[in-house]
Amino acid sequence: MKLTPLWLALCSLPVLACGPDGCETPLTLQLTAAQCHLNGLPFLSPDNDTRTNLALLLADEQAFSLPGGALPLPFRVDELISPAVGDTAPAGPDPLLALAASLGIEAATTEAAITRAGSWSEGRCISNNPVSAEAFLQALVQTPALTASDRSQLASQRLAMLGQCGQAQDAAESMPQSESKTATLSAAAMGFADYLTASQHFYQGEFAQADALFGLLAEQDQPWLKETADYMKIRVALNQSQQSAFDDWGSLDRSQIDQAQLQRCEQLITDYRTRYPQGRYLDSATGLLRRLAWFKGDNELLASHYLQASQQQSPPDLVNEIDLKLLMQPGFTGSATMPMLTLVQDLRRLRIHDSWDEWQPLLAAEIGKQAPQFARHAPWLAYLEQSSRYYLAKNYAAVVADAPALANGPLNNLAFSQQVLKGMALAAQQQWAKAEQQWRALLANQPTPLQDQLLQLALAMTLERAGQLEQVFAKESPIKSDHYRIPLLEYVAPAPLLRRMARDEQASDLLRQRANYTLSYKQLTHGDYQGFLQDLAGNPATEPFDWQGSQDYQCPALTEVVTILARTPDAPRALNCLGEFFLAQGLDWDPLLSRPGADTLAGTPDLFAGKRSSRLDWYQKVIANPKSAKEDKAYALYRAINCYAPSGNNGCGSQQVPVNQRKAWFNALKQQHGSSQWAKQLKYYW
C-alpha cells in the first residue's frame, strides 16, 4: 500500500472538522466561542449557537423536527436546523415545465426562465420565482372563460418576467420580449394582463403605479385575481414604508420608516386575514406582522408573534429569523411573552467569555429575578439553575445532588441535558466510575441517534481518563463510532492496542488503516525498529510506506534502512536515510504530532513506549558520533542547518537550536568538509 498523506485522510473524517480555514473544533463536551466556531452538541449548552439551543427547545414543544439520524460531533448549526435532503430519490422535473408545455410554451423557453430565476435575489424580488409563476399559470388553467390563445400569451409573458427584478430602467433593458405581444386578448383575459403589468411595476420598484393597479384588480370577480391583488396591496404598502429605511449595508434606521404606510400595511393585513381566513397567502401575511413588529422595535410584540408561529411546526427559516431579529440584537436578554428566548439568552451568557464578547455574564441573582417568567416552565428554571452551578459556581457536587432521577425510556432534550450536566459534573470531580455508570445508563435508555453520539463521546473521554482505554475497543463496547475511536488510537494508544486494532477484521477499513499507519509511524519515531520489522513480516500487505530510497544521497529502500537500524540504532548513514525518508514524504509535521488539548478527547498522555525523535534529532546523533564517515557527517550538517531555512524556525522538529550553534555547524561544514557537494551547495545558515 502506498503512503496516503495523513492530513488528507484526517480531513476526510468529519469529527476533526477540517475546514477551508484550517480550523478544527475540538472533541469535548465544553467548548468556547474562541475555539473555531460555535459548533454544537445535542444538549442545552452555553457553548452552542443560540439557534441550536432554540431548535432543541422547540423540538421539545413538538414545534421543530430535528434530524432523525446521527451527526458527527460537534455539528454545524445548519446541519441541525437545515439538514441536507437525501439523494436517494432523484428529483423529478420542475412542475412548471409540464404546466407551461400544456399551455403551448416550448420547453426551452421555460427552462431559460427557470435558469434566470435561479440567480441570487433578495427583498421583494424573492417572490418572483417559479412557484409564483406556477400559481399564475394554474389560475389561467382554472379560468374557463380564457381562450387557448389567452392562456398561451399570458403564460409566455409571465415566464418572461422570471428573474427580472430591480430598478425600472435596468429591468426594462433586460426583459425578454414576448413573441406573442401583438395577439389580441379576450375581455376575460384583460384582468390577468393588468395583473402582470401591476406585478412588473412592483418588481421594478414603481410602487405607486403597482398600488393603483392592484387596487383596481381587487374589485375583480375572478377569485384568484381578487385575492392575490388584496395580498399584493399588503406587500406594496410594506415596501413603501421601508423605501428609505435601509442603508447600503442593509442596516435598519427606524427613524426613516414611513409610519403612515406602516399603519396602512398593518390594516391591510388585518383586512386580508378577516376576508380570507383560509387564504392562499395567510401564512405569508401573518409572517409580515412579525416584520412590522420588528420595524416598530417592539420586542415583546415580536416575541408574541414568534410564540404564535412556534406553536405550529417551525421551519428552519423561523429559527434563523428569531435569531437574527431578536437573539442577536444587542441588549435583548429575553422575553416575558416567550420565556424560551430568555432561557436561550441566559445560556448564552453562561459561556466562557472573551474580551470581544459584548454580552455580560449572567449573575446568579438575575436568575432569581427571572423566576416569574418561568412560572409555567419550572423545568426550564431548574435547568438554568443547574447550569449556573456548573458553569459559573463550579459547584459540581450540587449539580449532581440536584439532578433529577433518571427516568426509564427516551428523554426529551431538556431532560437529557439535565442528565448530561450530571455526568459532566461527576467527571469534573474525577469520579470516573460514577461518570461511566451515568453514561452507560443513558446509552441503555433508548437515546436518539443525536444523543447516542454525544454519549459515545462522553463515555470515551471518561474511560480514557480513567485509564481504561481497552474498554473503548472491547467487542461489547457501546462506543462504535470511528469518530471517537480513531483519535484515541492516534494520540493515546500503546503499541499492543494499535497492533490489535490494525488486525481487527470487525473494524472498519479506515480504522484499521489509521491504526496501522499510527503504529508504523510511531515505531519509526520512537526507535522501535525491531517492532516495525516484525509487524511488517507478520502482515507485509499492510505496509503503509512505499519508499524505495534516494539517489542524491545514496539510500536503500526503507525496509533495508530500518533493518540496519534494528541491528545498529546509531548507524550514521541509516539515520540520515531515515531522515531522508521523512523529508521526502513530508512527515516532519504529520498531524499525529499535533496533539489534542488536555480537556478534549485523546488529550491524555501518549501511552506509546519510548521517547519520540525527530529528523533533527537523528542528524544531531550523526554529527555527535565520532565514528560517522565524513560524507555522512557532512550530509547531517547540511540537513541540520537547512532545518532552519529560510525563516530561522525549526522545520524538522520541536527543539530550538540557538543561532550560534547553527553558525558553528555551518563553519564545521565549510572548514572540515569543504570539498563535499553538501558544503558547496550551502551558502547560508539561518
Hey, which residues does 246 pair with through a beta bridge?
252
Digit-coded pLDDT (tens) for 518-537: 999 999 999 999 999 999 98
Say if 131 falls within a structural domain. yes
> Which tens digits make up the pLDDT trace of 538-564?
877 777 888 998 888 999 999 999 999
Helices (H), 526-593: 529-538, 558-567, 572-585
- 260 domain-assigned: yes
pLDDT of residue 574: 97
456 CB-near residues (< 8 Å, 6+ apart): 443, 478, 479, 480, 481, 484
The answer to whether 459 touches 478, Cβ cutoff 8 Å, is yes
Mean pLDDT of 319-333: 92
How confident is the model at residue 19, as a pLDDT? 39
Structural domain includes residue 227? yes
- Out of 531-540, 569-578, 605-614, which region has the weakest mean confidence (pLDDT)? 531-540
pLDDT digits (tens, 9 = 90+) for 68-103: 999 989 999 999 998 764 444 445 568 999 999 999
CA dihedral of residues 646, 648, 650, 652 (deg, nearest 10):
30
Cis peptide bond N-terminal to 572, omega within 30: no
Enter the pTM of the model.
Answer: 0.85
Tens digit of each residue's pLDDT (9 = 90 or more) over 229-244: 999 999 999 999 999 9
Q: How high does pLDDT run on average in the chain? A: 89
Residue 16 in this model has a pLDDT that exceeds 80? no
Number of structural domains in the chain: 1
Whole-number Å distance between alpha carbons of 96 and 137: 8
* 360, pLDDT greater than 90: no
Q: What is the band of 357 on the pLDDT scale with cuts at 50, 70, 90?
A: low
CA 139 and chain centroid, separation: 42
Instruction: Give residue 168's pLDDT.
Output: 53
| Rounded Cα–Cα distance for residues 301 and 29 (Å) | 36
Question: Considering the domain boundaries, does residue 271 fall inside one?
Answer: yes
> Is the bond into 74 cis (omega within 30 degrees of 0)?
yes
For residues 174 and 317, the model is more confident at 317
pLDDT digits (tens, 9 = 90+) for 23-33: 567 899 987 65
Domain of residue 144, residue span: 97-286
Asked whether residue 106 is assigned to any structural domain, the reply reads: yes
Those residues whose C-beta lies under 8 Å from the C-beta of residue 11, and which sit 6 or more positions away, are 18
Domain contains 443: no
pLDDT digits (tens, 9 = 90+) for 495-518: 999 999 999 999 999 999 999 999
Q: Rounded to whole angstroms, how far apart are CA atoms 22 and 16? A: 10
- In this predicted structure, the answer to whether residue 1 has a pLDDT above a threshold of 50 is no
Residue-wise pLDDT tens digits, 116-137: 988 877 889 999 999 999 999 9
Nearest residue to 636 via CA among 605, 587, 660, 672? 672
Residue 661 counted as domain residue: no
CA distances from 150 to 187, 194, 500, 627 (A): 10, 13, 76, 99
Measured CA to CA, the distance from residue 637 to residue 659 in angstroms comes to: 14
Say what the pLDDT of residue 302 is. Answer: 96
Percent residues over pLDDT 90 in the chain: 77
432-442 average pLDDT score:
98
| Predicted pLDDT at 175 | 47
Query: 40 in helix, strand or coil?
Result: strand
In angstroms, the Cα distances linking 558 to 259, 495, 524 are 79, 20, 11
The three three-digit cell numbers of residue 1, written as one number: 500500500
What are the CA-CA distances from residue 34 to residues 30, 49, 178, 570, 656 (Å)?
12, 12, 56, 45, 29
Residue 477 has pLDDT above 90, yes or no: yes
Q: Flag whether 354 is in a domain.
A: no
First to last CA, the chain: 38
Rounded mean pLDDT, 56-64: 94
Across 169-184, average pLDDT: 49
Q: What are phi and psi of 75, to 5 degrees?
A: -95, 160
pLDDT exceeds cutoff 70 at 36: no
Q: Are 519 and 499 in contact (CB under 8 A)?
A: yes
Q: With beta carbons less than 8 A apart as the criterion, state whether 559 and 536 touch.
A: yes
pLDDT at 543: 75
